[in-house]
């Protein structure tokens, strides 16, 4: 214990010296930072690419023709931007097909409900399911009802939005929990703080050895309404029909291109987002904005004639939404070269006003003594014009998580997310929700952080 007490002040002093050294070393990048930010804030090419992706290709669920069109188009766009070593990395992806779906109240009166099947759901039997609805606000209420109160009925999770991390468990695990108690189906209030009767989809999980029941998201307004009817003493009955099913795995691919490093080309800073989306809306914020900001960041570095010492690789990962196979395929593709990855940066939180970068770490101590974290802190001094100055401990995004698990420092470009969950996984995630100046600031932050990390002596 005494040794630890003696070491802590020494370690703190070393950390302080390292921070000062990094700040001093970063100073030489001020002029380059201004050039990159100026170029990004005046840029229209990234927005034009994002508009094409949204308006001409549209949503891009794994296994769909839309995704494969986006993959082929993205590779051509990387070539047009002058990137080197453009290629696709083959990935087998799940193919879940929504089919027709509908729901309506059939007692005590007839009214339609606005629903959207959850990704991975099974179908109802032919002709659908009709059952009394049992509303609950949380899992504790479900367990108190027990099998006697749930068996043969449709469970409705009317859980108010607290945060995505806290509330998404009802979408992920709600059907499985209800099935254990004998429910015939599950409806889940959309995971969003605001709604215009627009349901939000997303993946649900079934245990390998458990019963699978149909499950769908219901609009916030409908969830609250049905819950109120039940609380007032009505026995609400709903008829649900879903054709959802899986087909054999389909061929897809990650897309990548590079600016090769001038001195250490085998060392890599990888940046990107996921090219797939759900099968509704246009995938503008989730995650079209992320992939197009990453591509444009590298395109601007190339356009300005900047060649970093290390390689910057932009990757569009596939199948983030309902499988994560693209991130794992990339890790497997690089194999032993994972140790040569200096950092991995992903943007998957919408293209709103950026606030900074989360640094993935298991502990605060791991953050303090990370050389990459210290460098990111030093780089943040140049990001004031973008607003992305906050560098804090956080989690890694899904596609870079396999790299982080093998020791690669992972950062996530974070935004204010003020309206992100209004559109997330819904028909409303469309290009018109993108604010051009905010997208440009995301591009600027991506460009500066990736370039300086890749060029650091």
pLDDT of residue 24: 77
Q: Which of 68, 101, 320, 397 is catalytic?
A: 320
Contact status, residue 263 vs residue 319, Cβ threshold 8 Å: no
* Residue pLDDT, tens place only, 115-172: 999 999 999 999 999 999 999 999 999 999 999 999 999 999 999 999 999 999 999 9
Neighbour-count burial for 328-367, b at 16+ CB within 10 Å, e otherwise = bbbbeebeeebeebbbbbbbbbbbbbbbbbbbbbeeeeeb
* Residue pLDDT, tens place only, 55-73: 999 999 999 999 999 999 9
pLDDT of residue 3: 41
**19 falls in which pLDDT band (50, 70, 90)?**
low
More confidently predicted of 15 and 365: 365
pLDDT of residue 21: 61
Q: What is the mean pLDDT of the chain?
A: 94
Question: CA angle 44-45-50, nearest 5°?
Answer: 100
Q: Is the pLDDT of residue 13 over 80?
A: no
- Asked if 267 is an active-site residue, the reply is no
pLDDT of residue 23: 74
CB atoms within 10 A of CB 377: 21
pLDDT of residue 210: 85
Q: Is the pLDDT of residue 369 over 80?
A: no
pLDDT of residue 20: 57
**22 falls in which pLDDT band (50, 70, 90)?**
confident
Inter-axis angle of helices 371-379 and 2-26, nearest 10: 40
């Amino acid at each position: 214990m005494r040794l630890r007490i003696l070491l802590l002040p020494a370690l703190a002093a070393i950390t302080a010296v390292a921070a000062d050294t990094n700040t001093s070393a970063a100073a030489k990048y001020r002029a380059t930072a201004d050039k990159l930010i100026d170029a990004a804030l005046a840029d229209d090419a990234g927005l034009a690419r994002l508009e094409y992706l949204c308006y001409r290709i549209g949503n891009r669920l794994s296994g769909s023709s839309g995704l494969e069109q986006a993959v082929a188009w993205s590779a051509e766009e990387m070539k047009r931007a002058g990137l080197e070593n453009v290629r696709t990395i083959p990935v087998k992806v799940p193919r879940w097909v929504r089919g027709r779906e509908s729901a309506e109240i059939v007692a005590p009166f007839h009214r339609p409900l606005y629903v959207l099947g959850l990704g991975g759901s099974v179908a109802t039997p032919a002709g659908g399911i009709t059952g009394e609805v049992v509303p609950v606000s949380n899992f504790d209420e479900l367990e108190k009802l027990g099998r006697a109160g749930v068996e043969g009925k449709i469970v409705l999770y009317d859980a108010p939005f607290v945060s995505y991390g806290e509330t998404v468990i009802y979408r992920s695990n709600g059907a499985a929990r209800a099935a254990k108690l004998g429910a015939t189906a599950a409806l889940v209030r959309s995971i969003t703080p605001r709604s215009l009767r627009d349901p939000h989809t997303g993946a649900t999980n079934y245990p390998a050895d458990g019963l699978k029941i149909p499950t769908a998201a219901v609009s916030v307004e409908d969830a609250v309404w049905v819950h109120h009817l039940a609380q007032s003493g009505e026995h609400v009955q709903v008829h649900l029909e879903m054709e959802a099913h899986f087909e054999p795995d389909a061929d897809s691919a990650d897309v990548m291109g590079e600016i090769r490093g001038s001195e250490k080309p085998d060392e890599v800073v990888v940046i990107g987002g996921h090219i797939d989306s759900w099968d509704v809306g246009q995938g503008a914020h989730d995650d079209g904005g992320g992939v197009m900001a990453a591509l444009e960041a590298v395109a601007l570095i190339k356009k300005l004639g900047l060649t970093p010492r290390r390689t910057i690789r932009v990757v569009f990962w596939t199948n983030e939404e309902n499988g994560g196979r693209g991130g794992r395929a990339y890790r497997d593709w690089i194999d032993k070269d994972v140790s040569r990855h200096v950092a991995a940066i992903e943007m998957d939180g919408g293209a709103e006003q950026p606030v900074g970068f989360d640094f993935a770490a298991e502990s605060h101590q791991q953050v303090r003594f990370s050389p990459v974290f210290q460098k990111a802190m030093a780089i943040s001094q140049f990001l004031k014009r973008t607003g992305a100055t906050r560098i804090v401990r956080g989690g890694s995004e899904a596609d870079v998580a396999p790299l982080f698990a093998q020791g690669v420092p992972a950062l996530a470009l974070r935004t204010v997310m003020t309206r992100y969950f209004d559109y997330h996984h819904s028909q409303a995630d469309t290009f018109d929700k993108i604010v051009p100046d905010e997208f440009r600031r995301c591009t600027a932050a991506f460009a500066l952080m990736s370039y300086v990390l890749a060029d650091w002596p």
